[in-house]
Amino acid sequence: MKLLRAWAGLTALVIAAWLSVLLFIIMLNLLLPMVSNNVLRAVLGLILLTAWVAGMAVLVEVLRRRIAQKPAPESSAR
Amino acid sequence: MYAALLAAATSFIVTKLSAPVLINLLRSKGVVRPDAHKPGNPQVAHAGGVVIFLGTTAGFATWFALTFALTGVDDTVVRASVALLAGAVCFLVGLVDDLRVLGGLTKTVATVLSIFPITAVALLRPDLIEWGRPSLPFIGTLRITIIYWALLPLAVAGPANVVNMLDVLNGVIPGMMLTAYSMLALIAALTGGHATLALSLIVVGVLLAYYPYNAYPARVFNGDSGSLFLGGLLGALAVIEHYEFVVFTLLLPHLLNGFMILVSFRGFKEHRKVPKRPTYVDDQGMLHPSRDVDAPLTLTRLALLLGGSATEREVARLYFLLELSACALALLSVLH
């Protein structure tokens, strides 16, 4: 196994996920105070959260399908 | 701090002494499972969570006695007791699943019950556990009471189940959790989270002693009792002492893996009932990624696609390194 390549790839994925969550929360923090009603603000927050999770789910599904279509690489087995 | 260090030493000794006895007992009672990633699928003792829980309880009892003798029952003791209680609920659900297999959805729903001890104390003593104010990097304290309540059922059950979902190879969970709890202890020491510091050090003591028994080639599997307990306790500490974002970051590899599995299956499914495996093992014990269009996407499959085929030990080492990356991000979250 090319340990470094696998680690770099997965670490990039983890950092991307961390940044996307952080940016999403910052966006919520900027957007939600514009709504004065508490309940409306909570509903809007939940809708945005659901939409964001759905978007991430679509990304995962696209990745899963792309992986299955790609030809297998040369095995690095010893 | 000294009480927590003494408790960690106790938990280490108790785990070291009890592990061989309990593993033999589990084997003699027939609590065994085949190791699917080894040629010949040898039978390995299951429900190692019993060892982890016993060690943690012994360490906690030592810390409780020392703290009680020094300061009486203060807020830290109550917070730590509630966190351990929430973890204990997850452990019990896992133990039932280890002994009599539960369905994927049943198990997940049962772990939601673990939030009740925390909710009860938060309602009775709002000054002890303050809801809806998670601390976030670059933003500070958020006020999201309604959204927080909506997500609360997942606060302990979520971490418990995502840790359980990554418990697929020898040594992965104890290795990753040892790293995560060590970093949480460091962050708690830096930020004054006394209950988190005490329980994290106790769990570090347990896992240092337990790790060799689950490392490749495993003599015992953690079982759901072990993985649900370790994940659930992390979630409980996150809620009780406001380490939500830190714990979220520490569990990012687990969360990504869990999310990919849920999306692939479009819901909860018990791993024993999964029709297409994400990876397969050849006669030499090498792991390969599945190319089946219907196979679920998991972190292990992705790792094998990126780095090529590997032994179980190599993948466990990769996960340990990945958890170190998550730890660095968690530290960055606090030190920004």
Q: Which residue among A10, A49, A68 sits closest to B302, beta carbon to beta carbon? A: A10
Contacts with B314 from chain A: Cβ below 8 Å: 1, 3
Is residue A76 a part of any domain in this protein? no
Domains of chain B: total: 1
Phi, psi of B32 (to 5 degrees): -135, 160
What is the number of residues in chain B?
Answer: 336
Is residue B186 a part of any domain in this protein? yes
pLDDT band at B267 (very low <50, low <70, confident <90, very high): low
Q: Give the DSSP H/E element, type plus range, for residue A5.
A: helix A3-31
Phi, psi of B57 (to 5 degrees): -65, -40
Is residue B290 a part of any domain in this protein? no
Is residue A64 a part of any domain in this protein? yes
Is residue B299 a part of any domain in this protein? no
Is residue A78 a part of any domain in this protein? no
Q: Which residue among A56, A63, A76 sits closest to B308, beta carbon to beta carbon? A: A76
Is residue A52 a part of any domain in this protein? yes
Domains of chain A: total: 1
Domain that holds residue A55: 3-69
Contacts with B172 from chain A: Cβ below 8 Å: none
Distance between B217 CA and the closest CA of chain A, angstroms: 19
Report CB contact under 8 Å: A45, B144.
yes
pLDDT surpasses 60 at A74 = no
> Is the complex ipTM higher than 0.90?
no
User: What is this structure's pTM?
Assistant: 0.92
Contacts with A2 from chain B: Cβ below 8 Å: 306-308
For residues B14 and B58, give the distance between their C-alpha atoms in angstroms, rounded to a whole number.
7
Is residue A28 a part of any domain in this protein? yes
Contacts with A26 from chain B: Cβ below 8 Å: 138-139
Is residue B130 a part of any domain in this protein? yes
Q: Which residue among A45, A64, A75 sits closest to B297, beta carbon to beta carbon? A: A64
CB contacts < 8 A, A to B, total: 127
Cβ atoms B114, B89 nearer than 8 A:
yes
* pLDDT at residue number B179: 97
Is residue B281 a part of any domain in this protein? no
pLDDT surpasses 80 at B163 = yes
For B69-96, write each residue's pLDDT tens digit: 888 778 899 999 999 999 999 999 999 9
Q: Give the DSSP H/E element, type plus range, for residue A38.
A: helix A38-69
Is residue B283 a part of any domain in this protein? no
Domain that holds residue B224: 2-273+312-335
* pLDDT at residue number B234: 96
Supply the mean pLDDT for chain B: 90
For B248-266, write each residue's pLDDT tens digit: 999 999 999 999 999 988 7
How many beta carbons lie within 10 A of that of residue B258, not counting itself? 22
Is residue A15 a part of any domain in this protein? yes
